[in-house]
Structure 1
Amino acid sequence: MRTIVYRSFGGPEVLEPAEVDRPVPEPNEVLVKVHAVGVNPPDWKLRRGPYPPRWVTPPLVPGFDVSGVVEASGAYQGRFVPGDEVFGMILFPNPANAYSEYVVARPRQFARKPEGLSHVEAAALPMSGLTAWQGFEDSWDVRPGRRLLVHGAAGGVGHLVVQLAKQRGAYVIGTASAGKHDFVRRMGADEVIDYRAGDFARAVEPVDAVFDIVGGDYPERSLPLVKAGGAYLGAADISDEVGARYTARGVRWRRFQVEPDHASLAELAKVLNVHVDRTFPLEEAAKAHELAQSADFVGKIVLEV
């Protein structure tokens, strides 16, 4: 079968097409013929060098988000039968080999693909959607009247966070470059701040929570903005030192790692509209990674298999 592999860490150019044997499902797994693969930041961060989980070493096949059709199941009959259309974030954070024609995983890593969702859209949704969903469900009570600041509001996770927060009645402020403001507003944001035009901290009134997809110095710069009793949700990095300063201000903080959850995936697919900016054929995975690292897009990038 066709796949994409990298045999050493490096830039997008280390990605190369390869032919490998088709995987065989274990008794408690299903074999899925992949139609589309979502491109996510862990794909290219793992490719370019040491990044948690640090135990992974090349050769490796990138990717975790897939949408496709069940081809076969193992000896133990599970939730799906051949012909079922499914999508999911599989095996994360373990290597999932998703940039391939076929993948294997346990049935509970997948949800049934809704009829109204294309394979491209379905492949774009799992990791980003679950990050948004789990961040709210596990860490913050979203309700009318709450003010939320979303960093990276035009990105894969950010544009879904904006939608979810608005559906639950929050007042949403997003940060994004000027050329992406119209998109963020279409997703439902009440305000959009151009982070390149000045210090966002000077342009935003106090908020009840921050959902940070950017990391870097954003956790520290966001610190004065969060009201006591509020929350900082860090899908990106935040140091223990900065976290302690949030605690001292009476703000709950959490850095979290998304995890597979077929039940939540099925629910969020009913209410979130994922935006796919560009698609590439599987063989052009290197071009997809170049675009992903440039951040010169909105929403998601998908590989078609």
Structure 2
Amino acid sequence: MSESLDAIRSLQQSMDAAVIGQSAVVEKIIISLLCNGNVLLEGLPGTAKTRAIKTLGELLNADLGRIQFTPDLLPSDVTGTEVYHADGAAEQLTFQPGPIFANLVLADEINRAPAKVQSALLEAMEERQVTVAGKTYPLPDLFMVLATQNPIEQEGTYPLPEAQMDRFLMKITIDYPEDDAELGIIRLVRGEESSSAAPKTLPVEQRHIIDAREQILQLTITEAIEKYIVALVMATRHPGRYPDSPLQQWINIGSSPRATIGLDKAARAHAWLKGKDFVDPDDVRAVAMGVLGHRLILSYDALAEGVDQHQVVEEILKQVAVA
């Protein structure tokens, strides 16, 4: 077992201890981090969306930029802007970086800002750079956008455009915890507020993230698994290939090639986390919901029947067989 794998598993365990009852969410965040991808977390209030992100920042000893998205936010509030400076006779414009210039960027309630502000994130999320006043500024090597949104508050919100949704490697849905986890949350918060609280876990060196990404690329993936990944994505674009399934009535627009790339990356990361040196169908299925769900545009019939993306992806996994 490699040193980096030990370090990442320690990171995962520490997050599990701090975000009780959300181990599946923590695993998907770790996988997205290993894939150098961005994450959209959707959940009801109080489901530890912000806590999970802040905990990750603390455990990585990473710079955390937080942007509270509001209707009056401007693009420059995200990217930064040029500021006028006068030093004696010299006058110049100096670039003042915005909160996007951090290792981890918490875009809190991202759907509360208008499209112009949301689009300010697009270049950063995809190209890892920001352009202001004709000049391009690179972002840190370790960079990740973790956006949150509340599924039940729709008043005063702006739905994310499909182009931006496609730039999130995963969309993670967070549910309320179960009884035992809720009890654990009470005790955890009580302990954190106590003066005799246990010392914090030592941070994980960021170099382990970079090393892990290199190791993940070396995993063996057979042509059969590659064809399985392609078949899953093609099922979203050509649901008519499965005439005995309701997919054709449910899907209006399927997933882009980013879904194929994302499935390959996420399946590799999942296999690596499990200590394997190869990718199998279970690794692909484990990440399919997070990668495919938010990239599907459902038909009117599906919405009228109350069918959601989760049911559609489950049906795809049921219909598509490994070659």
Higher percent of residues as strand: 1
TM class by shorter chain equals under 0.3
Q: TM-score, normalised to structure 2's length?
A: 0.25
**Which has the larger helix fraction?**
2
Greater gyration radius: 2
Instruction: Please report the TM-score for the alignment, with normalisation by the length of structure 1.
Output: 0.26
